[in-house]
Amino acid sequence: MSASTKIRVAVNGYGVIGKRVADAIARQEDMTLVGVADIGIDWRPRVATRKRFRLFGAASEDADAMRRADMQVAGTLEDLLGESDVVVDCTPKRVAAKNVETYRRFGRKFIVQGGEKHEVTGHSFVAEASYEGAIGRDSTRVVSCNTTSIVRTLEALKRAGLLRRARGTLLRRATDPWESHQGGIMNTLVPEESIPSHQGPDAQTVDPDLDVITMAVKVPQTLAHLHYWSVQMTRHAEKEEVLDAFRTSSRIALVRMDQGLSALNVIKELMADLGRPHDDLYEVALWADMLQVKGDELFYAYMVDNQAIVIPETIDAIRALTGRETDASVSMKRTNAALGIGDLRV
Amino acid sequence: MSASTKIRVAVNGYGVIGKRVADAIARQEDMTLVGVADIGIDWRPRVATRKRFRLFGAASEDADAMRRADMQVAGTLEDLLGESDVVVDCTPKRVAAKNVETYRRFGRKFIVQGGEKHEVTGHSFVAEASYEGAIGRDSTRVVSCNTTSIVRTLEALKRAGLLRRARGTLLRRATDPWESHQGGIMNTLVPEESIPSHQGPDAQTVDPDLDVITMAVKVPQTLAHLHYWSVQMTRHAEKEEVLDAFRTSSRIALVRMDQGLSALNVIKELMADLGRPHDDLYEVALWADMLQVKGDELFYAYMVDNQAIVIPETIDAIRALTGRETDASVSMKRTNAALGIGDLRV
Amino acid sequence: MSASTKIRVAVNGYGVIGKRVADAIARQEDMTLVGVADIGIDWRPRVATRKRFRLFGAASEDADAMRRADMQVAGTLEDLLGESDVVVDCTPKRVAAKNVETYRRFGRKFIVQGGEKHEVTGHSFVAEASYEGAIGRDSTRVVSCNTTSIVRTLEALKRAGLLRRARGTLLRRATDPWESHQGGIMNTLVPEESIPSHQGPDAQTVDPDLDVITMAVKVPQTLAHLHYWSVQMTRHAEKEEVLDAFRTSSRIALVRMDQGLSALNVIKELMADLGRPHDDLYEVALWADMLQVKGDELFYAYMVDNQAIVIPETIDAIRALTGRETDASVSMKRTNAALGIGDLRV
Amino acid sequence: MSASTKIRVAVNGYGVIGKRVADAIARQEDMTLVGVADIGIDWRPRVATRKRFRLFGAASEDADAMRRADMQVAGTLEDLLGESDVVVDCTPKRVAAKNVETYRRFGRKFIVQGGEKHEVTGHSFVAEASYEGAIGRDSTRVVSCNTTSIVRTLEALKRAGLLRRARGTLLRRATDPWESHQGGIMNTLVPEESIPSHQGPDAQTVDPDLDVITMAVKVPQTLAHLHYWSVQMTRHAEKEEVLDAFRTSSRIALVRMDQGLSALNVIKELMADLGRPHDDLYEVALWADMLQVKGDELFYAYMVDNQAIVIPETIDAIRALTGRETDASVSMKRTNAALGIGDLRV
């Protein structure tokens, strides 16, 4: 692929993640969104057409149903793959496994989401930790929102030589806002049945050296996840040294309680005020003034916008797979600039 | 004021309504946002500067405090008034009364919000119902979100000769999302102590002929209000005739359950997908397929985005007060085009 | 059946309603709870044994599974029916239809819940409205919580000659508390797709003369339903006359906002304070000071504890079917005394 | 005080804790509830009369207001103190400090709640940890719900020689159910501004040797607190050894996910099914099957019913202060038997 042509990208599945990935691709100078594939005929895929994205039916039956419902359809997923260099799979868990066979049959590079197992692609992706390993591969897996946040933060501590082991409690929102009329929990807390929860081992698919154990619980809100960490450091470090370690990541945003950014809803409101699409918080928002060091122990908490945090990673993964950019930091800078990342502080 | 110069508008109070009004003014071709006045030093007014809005302190102490907090301040409210033709007051209830004296002292036209009493300005504004009466006045009051929605819908029925009397049950969200960490209700419903609630009489400040009685209850969610109506019509009308009556309003959007737009959260998600700032729903979203006629009785429900619905009315009120536009429909068309209103259907 | 022997009652299904019915039967002097049938081996049916209720497996496989799980089992549903005069079916919708065949085969009188269709038994029961028609029948259906409250209140107005037509908006809680970890809605409102909702026609299965139309919406809380009514009366009546009409029902409790009973959670707390089992509110709790008359129109709201309100009706239905008590008011007095109904005012 | 006479106890403040303490005292064979003092005239203190508790006005004005509101009043707080050996203060924070002066002036032994500082009494009470130190004292402080649960669980590990240090994340419910119409948080999480939260140091007022650090966050539900712990043990221990350590406390109840007790709401439902007053869970409910050991690290979670957990401690504190019972385990057994503690397993 010549450096002057744009990477042609397909998005399969136009749901909560797919629509954000499509928007993000459309904002990259070195990429073209060829189109999006989906199955429904309700309001959601119709929005794709409103945004002038080409819409494809996942199968020919889907395309036919869309046409019968007066929707503009450009063809099927197979047609879409025919015009694309890479496909980002944003379909639900069960469906993705079958899609992978199709992508392989068409010889297309592909990216799956964190809901799939590591083995599906043999590579798990977080830009700051495993970009290099993805260069030129046929496929990779962008890990889940929770795991992405864990890897971003713990790798920052590791780069500073501070990380010995990390123990986390993860408060998981119960459902996405757009589905909160169909499911969710009400006025209760629902602990995950087993300890440890799966996020620790999942982080180790990106970096096997991480000593991390997590416990998880579902909480009755729709905005974002919230992680609390108790970290054993290799030695005592001053608070400012720890904050500097986190500052080495362009995708960790230090926020402050004493500026009024004191709860999940307030930080989401700031995102809306900044004009971010869907009020998306792509960064891990970590409270700088709340963070505390006690001897060689470190305590902190951060917010994870589970719909948004994997979007920049997905964009970087596209560049890595195609080999168009072999320097992770260059790719991340381009992605950050296109999405407004780094611009959070007020 | 010559038609070629822009109307110079000040916004006093940069909160949940003020920031939306400021954004909307900035989008109008015939208006200039001179600046916004506020009092805080937390993250919120800092966003104004990020958007390149000029920021003024409400009083000189406020301006000083802002400067000490390293914020960029252009002066005080009085400085702001000196450069403006009209001021939109978006301050909290108690504060607004005092501001009115200041506006009068400076001889500035002004708009207050629905929280103020009708008597403060002597005129209550909903564009489709009372634009003409506001032309050239010194001041008007843009009525509350609930009242605005009531007037928009009942006037549409009245214009079609269908309205005899209307009885409504109003489900009011308990707090705005950005304040939901500080207040709200949890796992309960809180009926208003008295029947009727104040919205019926308030609608009569716009149109004294409306026969309308409402009951209200606070519900534990932050997204929007929801109104249910039982209307006695002047005669039987087919459902389609009623829908046509509502279609005469450019600020009522007919939505459909059978397209999946089946709950408040889904409609808000559509707003986000359409790229509306703050996911704002400026229209009354009325479910067309749910609406039912039984003889001479009419039943329907609609959603009211209480942060957004008064924004277009405020823009129209600015044009009416300055006398720049004497045709309500022309003003509304300009406002609608600038805000993307009319574009909701997918 | 001789008046000196107790009515032998079986309860099939030991869930949210079944366990309350069982407790209530155990409190009646003229009834014996023969036992309860269920299917699970989790904590719930184990509670029956803790309360010294005899536990039966719904089928022999269920009984076997219970025995394997070290639970005390007295036999199967068929064994239970063999010892009983009446069975109260409290199983989920789908299951009940099949049970009815079994009850008929065993020649047992039975009561089904409001989830079943009227046709299943041909008679729908609310004690104050249709007790007489159930006397000596083989079966009846105790209508749903919402319908029960509608019939109780509208019949009171009808008895006073005041009812012409009633239009209601029903705020339905989204799930029961004990299931709120598995389902529910979050931070949204979900209108029912169609108007009218089914409760109006359902009330007419008890009294075909009622002119009643309802609209319904799911709200994000677990405590109780809340109904708002707009009633066209036959003539003007003073507020006190209307309250007196409601006072003719022993199962409508007039409560007052100005005593602090101002929301669903507060009234539930009062039930807990009074020592009611499961904090149950058997009465319709109607706010007396909120109620308003405007000419010949009447407006009011009340709370419906959907787990509790049908319990006293079920007890009365048992007496009616067996013909043990042919005077509705005598049965109701016994039921009320045993459950503490009439004792709500503080 | 002779062993044959009953301890005469007063309760000052008939709110969420006071009413539970009063009920619990009334259930003890060796105590007499002399009466309760309060200030309101709404429904709440009226319930005391319904329960045949003597009601006193906090001050003479309060008693007068109660009489004017047709309430039965036995006198003032001072009258109540005159007839009592011990007073349990259950008034809000600000009020309690002033009350303490009154109790001292009257030479009455007294118990304050966990909201007060340790210094107010110089002794902090958890039955299993500090009963002996309270014997014969003039006063003690029953520590808060969160601290009580921490001391109960960590002391159990300490007695088994397993505790080195404990790091906890505390999910705090936002408000009590009966006040959830007046305050609370909605669809968000609100982290405490500082780490560590106050509960660690507070636990050290009971046992200075505990090495415990906590972080806390408010969550949008009203049922109970939930604690997650990561404990460094002195050595590896098998899971069963750890469970045995917890079993040494009669006020820790081991519950199981695999019995369906999988969330806060389900465990509260079990309390209601067991007929506990106010559905109270006096025990720390710790999930046995979720608990996990990894080498010398221990991970677990438990539920804290913040309204209920301090009630048995308060009863024991009464016996300790009066010196009536000098053996902690004997007092606890009496309290447990009277309240049904130990009876949770199904």
Interchain contact, A188 vs D262, CB within 8 Å: no
Please determine, for residue B331, whether its predicted confidence score (pLDDT) is greater than 80.
yes
Q: How does pLDDT run across B94-147, given as a tens digit for each residue?
A: 888 899 999 999 999 999 999 999 999 999 999 999 999 999 999 999 999 999
- Return the residue of D nearest to A267 by Cα: D188
Query: Phi, psi (5° rounding) for residue B304?
Result: -125, 110
Phi-psi map region of C161: left, alpha, beta (phi>0 left; psi -120 to 50 alpha)? left
With contacts defined as CB-CB under 8 Å, which chain D residues touch A287?
191
- CB contact under 8 Å between B226 and C217, yes or no, is yes
Choose among B50, B180, B346: nearest Cβ to A47: B346
Asked if A217's CB is within 8 angstroms of D228's CB, the reply is yes
Greatest Cα-to-Cα distance within chain C, rounded to the nearest angstrom = 67
CB contact under 8 A, C196 and B292: yes
Question: Whose structure tokens read 């050595």?
Answer: D235
Please name the chains neighbouring A, where neighbouring means 3+ C-beta pairs under 8 angstroms: B, C, D
As a whole number of angstroms, the distance between CA A44 and CA C154 comes to 43
Which chain A residues are closer than 8 Å to B42 by Cβ? 259-260
- Report yes or no: C214 and C197 within 8 Å, Cβ to Cβ: yes
**Closest partner residue to C264 among B188, B258, B264, by Cβ?**
B188
Confidence at B3, pLDDT banded by 50, 70, 90: low
* Phi/psi of residue B158, nearest 5 degrees: -65, -45
Cβ-count burial C83-117 (b if 16+ within 10 Å, e if not): ebbbbbbbbeeeebeebbebbeeeebbbbbbbbbe
From A193, A220, A263, residue closest to D290, measured CB to CB: A193
pLDDT for B166-179, tens place per residue? 999 999 999 999 99
**C55, C74, C143, C145: the active-site residue:** C145
Taking the C-alpha atoms of residue D346 and residue D341, their distance in angstroms, rounded to an integer, is: 13
Give the pLDDT of residue D2.
57
Helix, strand or coil for residue B299? strand
Tell me which chain D residues have a C-beta less than 8 angstroms from the C-beta of B187.
177, 180, 221-222
Are D125 and D142 a contacting pair, CB within 8 Å? yes
Instruction: Compute the distance between CA of residue C145 and CA of residue A30 in angstroms, rounded to an integer.
Output: 61
Residue C145 known to be catalytic = yes
CB neighbourhood size of C159 (10 A): 14
Does C182 contact A181 at a Cβ distance shorter than 8 Å? no
Listed residue (D221, D237, B306) closest to C222, CA to CA:
D221
For residue C104 the two structure tokens come to 């008929």
pLDDT greater than 60 at residue A2: no
**Residue A343 reports pLDDT greater than 80:** no
Nearest-angstrom CA–CA distance, B313 and D84: 66
Buried b (16+ CB within 10 A) or exposed e, B296-328: ebbbbbbbbbbbbbbbbbbbbbbbbbbebbeeb
Q: What pLDDT, in 10s, does the model give residues B69-102?
A: 999 999 999 999 999 999 999 999 888 889 999 9
Q: Are A186 and B187 in contact (CB under 8 A)?
A: yes
How far is A102 from A76, CA to CA, in rounded Å? Answer: 12
Q: Which of C185, C190, C290 lies closest to B195 in CB terms?
A: C290
Residue C22 and residue C44 in contact, taking contact as beta carbons nearer than 8 Å: no
- Active-site amino acid positions of A: 145
CA distance B217 to chain D (A): 12
For residue A94, the model assigns a pLDDT of 80
- Provide DSSP, A229-248: EEEEESS---HHHHHHHHHT
Please indicate whether, in this complex, the C-beta atoms of B191 and C301 are within 8 angstroms of each other.
yes
- Nearest by CB to C181, from A177, A180, A190: name it: A190
The pLDDT, as a whole number, for residue A97 is 82
- Burial category of C40 from C-beta neighbours within 10 Å (exposed 0-12, middle 13-18, buried 19 and up): middle
Nearest-Cα distance to chain A for D302, in Å, is 10
The two three-digit tokens of residue A135, written as one number: 């260069």
Please say whether the beta carbons of B151 and D185 come within 8 A.
Answer: no
Question: Which positions in chain D touch A219 (Cβ < 8 Å)?
Answer: 171, 189, 219-221
Which residues in chain B have Cβ-Cβ distances shorter than 8 Å to D222?
186-187
Please state, in angstroms and rounded to a whole number, the distance separating the CA atoms of residues B267 and A27.
Answer: 25
Q: Per-residue b/e over A93-102, b at no fewer than 16 CB within 10 Å?
A: eeebeebbeb
Rounded CA-CA distance A48/A44 in Å is 7
Q: Which residue of D has its CA nearest to B220?
A: D186
Nearest CA distance, D217 vs chain B (angstrom): 12
What's chain B's length in residues?
346
Q: Please say if the pLDDT value at position C97 is more than 70.
A: yes
Rg for chain A, CA atoms, rounded: 20
The residue of C55, C303, C346 whose CB has the most chain D CBs within 10 angstroms, and thus the best one to mutate to test that interface, is C346
pLDDT, residue A296, reads 98
* pLDDT at residue B327 is higher than 60: yes
Tokens for B82, please give them. 């000196």
Peptide bond into A177 cis (omega under 30): no
Query: Neighbours of B (≥3 Cβ pairs closer than 8 A)?
Result: A, C, D
Spatial separation of the C-alpha atoms in residues A104 and A98, rounded to whole Å: 10
Q: Which residue has 């539900």 as its token pair? A: D221
Q: Which residues of D touch B222 (CB under 8 A)?
A: 186-187
Measured between CB atoms, which of A19, A180, A279 is closest to B273? A19
For CA atoms B66, B67, B72, B74, the dihedral sign is positive
Q: Is B187 in contact with D180 (Cβ distance < 8 A)?
A: yes
* CA pair distance C170, C226, nearest whole angstrom: 6
Minimum CA–CA partner of C222 in chain A = A186
- Give the active site residue among D80, D112, D145, D254: D145
Residue C343 has pLDDT above 70, yes or no: no
CB C33 within 8 A of CB C51: no
Name the strand (E) or helix (H) holding C156: helix C145-159
Interface test with A, best of C180, C186, C217, C223 (most A CBs within 10 A): C186
Mutation target for C interface from A181, A192, A264, A268: give the one with most C CBs within 10 A. Answer: A181
Give the integer Cα–Cα distance in Å for B307 and B21: 10
C260–D44 C-beta distance less than 8 A: yes
Task: Identify whether the C-beta of residue C304 lies closer than 8 Å to the C-beta of residue C226.
Answer: yes
Contacting subunits of C (3+ beta carbon pairs below 8 A): A, B, D
Interface of A with D (CB under 8 A): 167, 169, 171, 185, 187-191, 193-196, 213, 215, 217, 219-223, 226, 228, 230, 257-258, 262-265, 287, 289-292, 294, 297, 299-301
Q: Check pLDDT > 80 for residue C1.
A: no
Cα A222-A224-A225 angle, rounded to 5 deg: 115
Q: Which residues of B touch D (CB under 8 A)?
A: 174-175, 177, 180-188, 190, 220-222
What distance in Å separates residue C52's CA from the closest CA in chain B? 34
Q: Which helix (H) or strand (E) holds C8?
A: strand C7-12
The dihedrals phi and psi of B342, each to the nearest 5 degrees, come to: 100, -5
Residue whose pair of structure tokens reads 């109790």 in the numeric block: D103
Residue written as tokens 């496989």?
A: C61
Q: What single DSSP character describes residue A59?
A: S
Q: Where are the beta strands (DSSP E) in D100-162?
A: 109-112, 124-125, 139-142
Give, to the nearest 10 degrees, the angle between helix D43-50 and helix C264-273: 20
Residue for token pair 């496909």: A87
Mean pLDDT score, B324-346: 90
Option in A177, A181, A186 nearest C175 (CB)? A186
| Contact predicate C88/C9, CB 8 Å | yes
Torsion of CA B203, B208, B211, B212, to 10 degrees: 10
Write down the pTM of the prediction.
Answer: 0.96
Pick the closest to residue B315 from B85, B88, B145 (CA basis): B88
Among all residues of chain C, which has the CA nearest to that of A221?
C186
Give the separation between CA B121 and CA B100, rounded to whole angstroms.
9
Query: Average pLDDT of chain B?
Result: 96
Angstrom distance (rounded) from CA B318 to CA B332: 11
* Amino acid A181: pLDDT: 95
Spatial CA neighbour of D3 closest among D330, D336, D339, D337: D330
pLDDT at residue number A164: 98
Q: How far apart are CA B224 and CA B20, in angstroms?
A: 16
CA–CA separation, B10 and B99 (whole Å): 13
| ipTM computed for the complex | 0.96
Amino acid identity, position B52: R
The backbone torsions φ and ψ at residue B58, rounded to the nearest 5 degrees and listed phi first, read -60, -45
pLDDT tens profile A126-173:
999 999 999 999 999 999 999 999 999 999 999 999 999 999 999 999
At residue D93, the pLDDT reads 83
Give mean pLDDT, residues A239-260. 96
As a whole number of angstroms, the longest Cα–Cα distance in chain A is 67
Peptide bond preceding D196 in cis form (omega within 30 of 0): yes
**Would you call C292 and B194 a contact, using CB atoms and an 8 Å cutoff?**
yes
Cβ(B17)–Cβ(B113) below 8 Å = yes
Contact B270 A186 (CB under 8 A): no
- Active site residue: B112, B145, B151, B317, which one? B145
Tell me, what's the pLDDT at B210? 98
What per-residue confidence (pLDDT) applies to A95?
87
Shortest CB distance from B180 goes to which of D177, D182, D185?
D185
Could you count the other beta carbons within 10 Å of the beta carbon of residue C25? 26
CB atoms within 10 A of CB B1: 11
Strand-strand pairing, B212-219 and B163-173: parallel
Helix H segments across D230-327? Answer: 239-247, 264-273, 310-322
HSE (CB half, 13 Å, CA atoms) of D267?
32
Which chain B residues touch C304 with a CB distance below 8 Å?
none
Determine the residue of chain B that is closest to A186 in CA distance.
B187
**Tokens representing D3?**
């062993």
Low-confidence ranges of chain D (pLDDT < 70): 1-4, 343-346
Which amino acid, one-letter code, is at D295? G
The distance of D138 to chain C (nearest Cα, Å) reads 31
Cα–Cα separations (whole angstroms), residue D219 to A194, A218, B156, D189, D190 = 21, 11, 44, 5, 7
